[in-house]
Structure 1
Amino acid sequence: MSKHAMKTLTCLLTAAVIGLGIAGHAAAAAPAAPGQTLAQRGAYLARVGDCVACHSAPGKPAFAGGLPIDSGLGVLYSTNITPDKEHGIGKYTEQQFADAVRKGVRADGTHLYPAMPYTSYAKVSDEDIKALYAYFQTGVQASAYAPPESKMGFPFNQRWGMVFWNFFFADNKPFKPQPGWSPQVRNGAYLVEGLGHCSTCHTPRGFAINEKASNSGEAKFLAGGELNGWPVPSLRGLPRWDLAAIVDYLQTGRNKNSAVAGEMTAVVQHSTSQMTTADLNDIAAYLKALPPAPAREAAVKPQGREATVKKLSAAVDLTLGERLYLDNCSACHFVTGKGATRVFPELDGASVVNAENPTALLHVMLAGARTPSTDKAPSVLVMPGFGKRLSDGEAAALASFLRQGWGNTAAAVSEKDVAKVRARIDAK
């Protein structure tokens, strides 16, 4: 094969489209609660799958689609999944609905792009598909809104070519529990691997934008990576968090160690905060049961917790980064870097601070962050952005201190790193 032909095939594979068929889905999720209708069960499952986040655009009806998604290969627009018979899925049979959800194939035979996480939804049981179908046909208000057509350039608009991507990379196997799992861990795994589609963000990807692992039995599954330039932490084992901290974070967007930021904010607001405590406990038990991913090798020697606290407390012979920390950060995060439980996140040991890629840290520093308002934590906590106060050089110095102070062991940040993140923020 010529170099040009190989490059063309790689491009086709990278666009990622069609899913292969599956059969024999074993039931795994809990049945409907007593007195709960099938459609009500489906409404809950739609929350677990966070369907509203992608299929609802600002100013448009819920589930009517039209949300633009920049794939890096062109702009995709989410589809209308209301029961409208012309622009939605009102004419879909249950089998056609199942094929769209689990195979990525619409009723007219058109293949969906895997921005729709059908590679994860392939693990959804027949019973849960039935409940989802009942909800979207009878529990959602029909909308005649017609979303814009997706705009993918050649060759990525050649959806037929994605058969090859699926052949090499798509895992169409139904959910399979690992030996020795308790019923609690099994249910947590089913929710995470399937409707929760957590691997979409938290599993590293290969050259063809393919997930490098597809189930809990593989060491790279949920082992972290990058998404749109942001570092995404590993969920395996979560050694710094206990079960209660995991549930707290998913239910409220904050816990004793951390607070949510970035894309996870919407996940908590629209999905995990709406889940039952029982299901969240099962998810926590499952994540804790996973063997932790290997720790990243330290990029630098840490300054040391005692040394950092002593120097900041004395406020003598400070570096620029240390001075900026005292002036801008210490009132909330304190000289210990420990913050305040459930209010100001820890900086000492935080994954966002120690990530090899500093993008997320710099984004929060420059643009700030807000926790979502949830039923169990209705108050919104705001981290102000310091982009207008700090120059690129100052932000780099502050970030470098954060990444090497206390017990943190990440590499220093350059002005160029800050300038790139600032440009992305300004572009939005």
Structure 2
Amino acid sequence: MRMTFKKPASFFSFLALVVGLGAAVCPGGRAQAQAPAATDQTLVEHGAYVAVLGDCVACHTAQGGRPYAGGLPIASPIGTIYSTNITPDRETGIGGYSYEDFARAVRRGIRRDGKTLYPAMPYPDFAHISDSDMHALYAFFMSGLKPVHAPNRAADISWPLSMRWPLAWWRWIFAPNVQPASASMGSDALADRGAYLVEGPGHCGTCHTPRGMALQQKALSPRDGTAFLAGGQIDNYTANSLRGDGLTGLGSWREEDIVRFLRSGRNQHAAVFGGMADVVFQSTQHMSDADLQAIAHFLKTLPATKSGPAFSYDQAVAKELFVGNVGRRGALTYINNCAACHRTSGNGYDDTFPALANNPVVNAADPSSLLHIVLIGGTIPSTASEPTHFTMPPFGDRLSDQEVADVVTFIRSSWGNQASAVSAEDVAKFRKEIAPSPVKKTL
């Protein structure tokens, strides 16, 4: 796995605007259709839940802005794009969209005037959304939200890269016009539901599936091969494999561990951070127990992508640290900065400070996420089931590149963890990659 992804500003880079780059449903085009005057409240409420499944509010709400009114800046290789207003305002939002306009934009990435949308919402995934859910989602946006007059901001992209027509080529190649339906797992109805949620509205593959040269997802479902949910990179983090890989995936997680993680943002193995913390806070904690169980059940049907040893806890380091033996490189830094929360055993404290032993983030081939957390810290969000939240402070100003490299390498090779070493040069390079920016970054 690579530390980050960068491309020169070129025609190819323009085609590479495939990972959450900007507008979702853009106003404008032919004469506006009338929104429904009245809609069944049950349908609106169901649509609100579908919007939760899709975490629509995340990309369409600027910091400090009104929900769904757009304006969130998102960086791309060729400039900054701003998410659009998807409230039912007729002038600046989607108030003039018919159901057919709306469904075509969400599923196919084609706006009302026929031009291809920047794929802010992953329409290759949303193509799977069922007709019933799509109708409910439309009802929610048209009748369940109040219009917000918020003009959309033009993208900061220079010509000729600002031309939209090349995006149609990418859509034709990488966004198949599939029939909206859930995957079939035979007689396992729970796995069917989980597959639908993961592949469709939940669009988990957007972050957790590796991408090809044109930044397309290498697989949109298990039917496309073992690349599906095998891990990816986004925003200088590593999105770990959601398959059955032992050290770097969900091989050692039970279904109930996955449910707990999605509901509360923590379990005995790990805790959320980065973009996944937002997903838990805004989306998965609000899902029904049945849907969380379906997601967990489906994910556990995905086999490992690579063979490797199962985790086996090694007590050697724990015993050394317990008696004050800090002879290993990085051990003293760990004792002084990490052990109070994560313990000399590396097992942390359940539901409070995550274990480092047998942690898939720690064992990932790409150490980006671990470096990110050590350098800038992270916060476990408060959720309904776990109202307390805990913050790990940043150590980037306290520790040198060599100290960070030593302690991260120590963590990645202790208690049975089996990940590669990290150098001071790796840390120095990564510091530059995550330098503060006012713009949300994407791949």
**What amino acid is the match of 1:13?**
L
Q: Could you report, residue by residue, the CA deviation over 1:235-283 in whole angstroms, capped at 9, with x for unpaired residues?
A: 1232121111101110110112111011100000000011111110111
Does structure 1 retain, via aligned residues, the 8 Å contact 2:266–2:351? Answer: yes
Aligned to 2:127: 122
Cα deviation digits, residues 185-231 of structure 1 (max 9, x gap): 10111011001000000000001001001112221111112223321
Partner of 1:3: none
Q: Deviation of residue 358 (structure 1)?
A: 1.2
Asked if structure 2 preserves the Cα contact closer than 8 Å seen for 1:65 and 1:77, the reply is yes
SS of structure 2 residue aligned to 1:336: coil
Q: Write the mapping of 1:26-425 to structure 2, written as runs, cut at 5 A.
A: 37-174=42-179, 175-217=181-223, 218-237=225-244, 238-295=250-307, 305-316=314-325, 318-425=327-434
- AA of the residue aligned to 1:293: T
Alignment CA distance shift 1:400-1:283 (3 Å): same
- Could you say what the CA RMSD is over the residues aligned between the two structures, in angstroms? 2.3
**What is the percent sequence identity of the aligned residues?**
45
For the residue of structure 2 that corresponds to 1:289, the secondary structure is: coil
Cα deviation, residue 180, structure 1: 2.2
The CA distance in 1 between the partners of 2:400 and 2:376, in whole Å, is 13
* TM-score (normalised: structure 2): 0.86
**Matched position secondary structure for 2:74:** strand
Q: Deviations over 1:327-374 (max 9, x none)?
A: 111111112111111111111121111112111101111211111111
Q: Is the 8 A contact 1:46 1:132 kept in 2?
A: yes
Specify the code of the residue in structure 2 equivalent to 1:90: G
Gaps of at least 5 residues in structure 1 are 1-6, 20-34
| Equivalent-residue separation in structure 2 for 1:210 and 1:95 (angstroms) | 26
Equivalent residue, structure 2, for 1:25: none
**Which residue identity does 1:14 align to in structure 2?**
A
List alignment gaps of at least 5 residues for structure 2. Answer: 1-8, 25-39, 245-249, 438-443
Q: Offset at 1:11? A: 4.2
TM-score (norm 1): 0.89
Change (3 A) 1:95 1:272: same
User: Per-residue deviation at 1:73?
Assistant: 2.8
Question: How many aligned positions are there?
Answer: 404
Distance 1:180 1:303, change over 3 A: closer
* Aligned-residue offset at 1:12: 4.9
**Cα distance change on mapping 1:394 and 1:124 into 2, 3 Å:** same
SS of residue matched to 1:250: helix
Q: Which runs of 4+ in 1 moved over 6 A?
A: none
Aligned equivalent of 1:4: none
Q: Residues of 1 paired with 2:215 and 2:309: CA distance?
A: 25
The one-letter code of the counterpart of 1:266 is D
